[in-house]
Chain A
């Protein structure tokens, strides 16, 4: 399913597609520039389109400040802004463990992203730097796994986690690991991820080999070369990996849906889905959209902040993905 570690455009297949390396220079203005009159027309068009693109966000924020009956009046500026001391946000935090879900998502995303960045870097470095028998075939397998839909491995992986759970429960000296714990959400990140391995390898290949040869002559170990030379130089690629994985984890619904049943353990996306089911019209609720929308704002805003801080990494990550394929 499309919810596995996923670059913003639904990564997969990236490498099976023979796209030639595009030399990424600064944006050159290759299309003919147009006259001032046309230019103004384009800008006007873009402003209209921007409103279309941003309005859903504004609608969300505005609706989260309205009382229940006015959510659908669709005014941009709420008619009545609910009492800030007893507003939709404190209400939603009160009715469901939204704060717990939020922090669950924060630490699972953070830890998962950290692990996958580190392990993918190790593997990518091996593929980029070392000459060893089996390299070509193993790298082909890495690329091949990107084609595999998550659905194929989803069921057996679940069954494996049930077995691990049964085992750890039977041996009381072991911590409980398995289904209905949060381990299945981040442990797989300890083993690297094909897309990130591919992305980082591209970057490591760009580091001049002489740097490593010099380090070898100085008697540095392979680990030192990786940790002291390759990693610091590949920082941009590592940051791209980190934020892409944060995003993937923050988006993920299906994994927590499969593994978690106890609501204290939920991540935020699953929590918001539960809110929707509980307070939406269909679930016997009376359509308390103000509550649902406030929860949704809590889900959306952190990503907006991350995007604001790391915008250029999002853009360069996607460009690498598309350009170098």
Chain B
């Protein structure tokens, strides 16, 4: 029997049919909510689909690659991409460094106390993003906000975080770094998995604390660092809710719809569901997908040199 026939003959077995019955919900969902929409989305990105077409007033016209050319010439796309990259570049390293620092300190105190502090540091992670948006407007208020009061206390005149275009993204990034809990928990588990004898050996060899960190800790937890690096980057590139809550919509406490907070996902949402330029928004979504893929593949490629997997060599 050839391989293909053996493969096909599997469909004669009762087990196969039972398996596909169990898979049925997912298969249906995949076709109706993922694969189907992907095809439709790709098609839409080559059409002028919009409000008139939804209402059935005008027919859908194919426009070829027009939207994709438009993407390259749309100043707002450039702006939104720049905002998104700047925010991601602040948020991802910030979160990783703070999470690692917290995890390292937590590893050095007793377990009972460590668990208490872990709970405390995790709390911000369960704050709904809409609430984070409200907190940005209140805590980072330039004149009355708690953050600037605190800075005043140590003699620094804080900026107008929520209205000054150059400080909106740092404020958003800081609130995002506040929610390091999940990343910290991942690092805690990774740190707990580093064999103790490695540290003992390093100490016997007279390695300094810095050398032990650089040459033992970092390589041993590099898979966890790599994992969070990718996941945080993907999340950062798609950031929406906090910034949308604080700065977009009919009226908000900060500057009105400021360019500085126009992230890619927000621009996409507004194009699709406020302006109903659905063809264009579909093209935007594919550009986002492409960007995420390229960045992730680049990260995977680069990390080959740095990530150390136990038991591989």
Contacts and interface: CB of A to CB of B under 8 A. Distances in A.
Given A119-B26, A155-B281, A319 B185 contact: yes
A20 B190 CA distance: 11
B195 to A, nearest CB: 7
Interface string A31-56: 11110001100110110011001111
A23 B311 CA distance: 13
Contacts of A30: 107, 191-196, 199
B288 interface: yes
Given A149-B285, A280-B251, A323-B186, A123 B296 contact: no
A191 B129 contact: no
B189 A24 contact: yes
Interface string A305-323: 0110001001100110111
A33 B199 CA distance: 11
Interface string B301-313: 0000000011110
Contacts of A14: 227, 231
B273 A303 contact: no
B36 to A, nearest CB: 7
A253 interface: yes
Contacts of B36: 156, 160
Interface string B112-127: 0110011111111111
A57 B123 contact: yes
Contacts of B228: 9, 322
Contacts of B41: 152-153, 155-156
Residue of B26, B114, B138, B272 with highest tally of chain A CB at under 10 A:
B26
A272 B130 contact: yes
A300 B126 CA distance: 8
A156 B22 contact: no
B72 interface: no
B144 interface: yes
B219 to A, nearest CB: 14
B204 interface: no
B133 interface: yes
B199 A31 contact: yes
Contacts of A280: 137, 251-253
A2 B235 contact: yes
A276 B134 contact: yes
Contacts of B261: none
Interface in B1-58: 7-8, 10-11, 13, 15-16, 18-20, 22-23, 25-26, 28-30, 32-34, 36-38, 40-41, 44, 54
Contacts of A258: 273
Given A42-B108, A43-B113, A153-B37, A131 B15 contact: yes
B119 to A, nearest CB: 6
Contact of B224 (A49, A71, A287, A322): A322
A191 B37 contact: no
A77 interface: no
A102 interface: no
Interface in B171-226: 178, 181-183, 185-186, 188-196, 199, 203, 217, 223-224, 226
A253 B249 CA distance: 13
Interface string A225-257: 010000000000000000000010011011001
B199 A253 contact: no
Interface stretch (A92-100, A139-147, A167-175): A139-147
Nearest to A281: B253
Interface string B274-292: 0000100110111011001
B107 A31 contact: yes
A147 B231 CA distance: 10
A151 B44 contact: no
Nearest to B132: A56
Nearest to A19: B223
B250 A283 contact: yes
Contact of A303 (B128, B133, B281): B128
Contacts of B311: 20
Q: What are the 5 tightest A-B residue pairs by CB atom distance, in nearest-first order? A: A191-B29, A283-B251, A10-B235, A322-B186, A72-B144
26 contacts: A2-B241, A17-B230, A19-B227, A20-B223, A22-B190, A33-B108, A34-B108, A46-B109, A55-B146, A60-B131, A60-B135, A72-B144, A72-B145, A126-B22, A130-B19, A151-B268, A154-B272, A155-B281, A156-B41, A276-B249, A281-B251, A303-B126, A303-B128, A304-B123, A319-B189, A323-B190
Given A46-B106, A280-B251, 14 more contacts: A16-B300, A27-B192, A39-B109, A45-B105, A54-B120, A71-B138, A123-B25, A142-B26, A147-B293, A150-B238, A152-B41, A156-B36, A281-B252, A287-B253
Interface of B: 7-8, 10-11, 13, 15-16, 18-20, 22-23, 25-26, 28-30, 32-34, 36-38, 40-41, 44, 54, 102, 104-109, 111, 113-114, 117-131, 133-135, 137-139, 141, 144-146, 149, 178, 181-183, 185-186, 188-196, 199, 203, 217, 223-224, 226-228, 230-232, 234-235, 238-241, 244-245, 249-254, 256, 265, 268-269, 272-273, 278, 281-282, 284-286, 288-289, 292-293, 296, 300, 309-312
